[in-house]
Amino acid sequence: MQTGGRTDLAVELKEGLQAGAECQNGMSCREEFHKHKNVHVSTVVISDEEAAKVMGKQIGTYITVEAPGLSGADEKRRRYVAEILAEKLLLLTGKTEGKSILVVGLGNREATPDALGPLTIDGLVVTRHLILELGASFREKYHLTSFFAVAAGVLAQTGMESGEMVKGIVNELKPDLVIAIDALAARSTGRLGTTVQLTDTGIYPGAGIGNNRQALNRATLGVPVIAVGVPTVVDAATIVQERIGQFLKKTGVSEEEWNRFCDETGNGEQKALFVTPKGIDELVHQAGDTIADAINMCFCKELV
């Protein structure tokens, strides 16, 4: 789970730009709204270093699907959201039939808001071993992508960085592509469990033992890495900021005073705290199911 920064969501960064600012130079931005289904898709492509610097994000494509209900109890709604996610995921992967893909679930199965990755893995219908056993004719008959999966565990349980383990597996089994699933941190509580971000820039697991922690991206793994994430937490410091911002605005107290106060006192223990909704357990299970459905639709549609 990535809670080190203020937000993992490109769409929130864009919102943070000065009001009235258009999509920056070096970026292209596109919005789609499926009105009758209440699904909003925002696609931001950051195409040069300067824009990347301004946004504090890597060069690449960021697709944000805002779909209330993606982690809700209504299965039909989730199915519909999964179809849109599958469509967007295929935009990033390109045609995959006959290729080989490793899906990695990041995060800690034992810590509810961080369990998105492992729970998604549980819902996958992996096909690699079936294709090895039943052969090319089986693969062709069902137009399958060969895909396999691992829940990478967490440092304190394995003694390994996720990145180290995944790198070993990638070198040995040589997938054409890696898809990494992780829980994200958002800036706004309204996004928890309602937004999926898909990006082809890879993933940077939560701050850990410093420099040993490896990113999962093309540079480290040698193959493209698509990251799929759902915000499940907000930093405690962020939620304070959100509320106090409203207060300062309303009362006309200068923001500077607050900033000075923060500089002087630090955020202290708030850094070790996170904020989640009360129904986080269902939220994470259902978001995991939705993403697993989307992946299954992409890679073994005719089997499930």
| Of residues 244-273, those binding its own copies (CB under 8 A) | 244, 246-247, 250-251, 253, 257-258, 261, 265, 269-270, 272-273
3-class state of residue 97 by DSSP: coil
Pick the binder of its own copies from 37, 212, 222, 245 (CB under 8 A). 212
Q: In what order do the strands lie in the sheet with 195-199?
A: 27-34, 39-46, 60-66, 195-199, 225-235, 177-186, 100-105, 146-151
For residues 47-86, which are near its own copies according to CB under 8 A? Answer: none
- When asked if residue 20 is in the footprint of its own copies (CB under 8 A), the reply is no
Half-sphere exposure (Cβ direction) of 228: Cα atoms closer than 13 Å? 28
For its own copies, the closer CB: 62 or 274: 274
- When asked if residue 157 is in the footprint of its own copies (CB under 8 A), the reply is yes
Q: Angle at Cα 9 formed by Cα 244 and Cα 272, nearest 5°?
A: 55
Pick the binder of its own copies from 85, 169, 181, 225 (CB under 8 A). 169
Pick the binder of its own copies from 274, 288, 291, 295 (CB under 8 A). 274
Point out which span in 38-46, 50-58, 178-186, 232-240 binds its own copies (CB under 8 A).
232-240
3-class state of residue 301 by DSSP: coil
Give the helix ranges, DSSP H, for 113-193: 116-122, 128-134, 136-141, 155-158, 162-173
- When asked if residue 111 is in the footprint of its own copies (CB under 8 A), the reply is yes
- When asked if residue 176 is in the footprint of its own copies (CB under 8 A), the reply is no
- Shortest separation between residue 280's beta carbon and its own copies, angstroms: 6
For its own copies, the closer CB: 119 or 227: 119
Intra-chain end-to-end CA distance of the chain, in Å: 29
Tokens of 123: 């819902």
Pick the binder of its own copies from 167, 215, 218, 220 (CB under 8 A). 167
- Shortest separation between residue 82's beta carbon and its own copies, angstroms: 15
For residues 126-155, which are near its own copies according to CB under 8 A? Answer: 126-130, 132-133, 146-151, 153, 155
Residue 39 carries which DSSP code? E
Beta strands 195-199; 225-235: pairing state: antiparallel
- When asked if residue 300 is in the footprint of its own copies (CB under 8 A), the reply is no
**Among candidates 303, 301, 304, 287, which has minimal Cα distance to 105?**
287
**Type of residue found at 138:** F
For its own copies, the closer CB: 44 or 149: 149
For its own copies, the closer CB: 25 or 212: 212
Cβ atoms of 148 and 172 within 8 Å: the answer is: no
Alpha-carbon distance of 99 to 97, in angstroms, equals 5
Cβ atoms of 178 and 104 within 8 Å: the answer is: yes
Pick the binder of its own copies from 24, 47, 58, 189 (CB under 8 A). 189
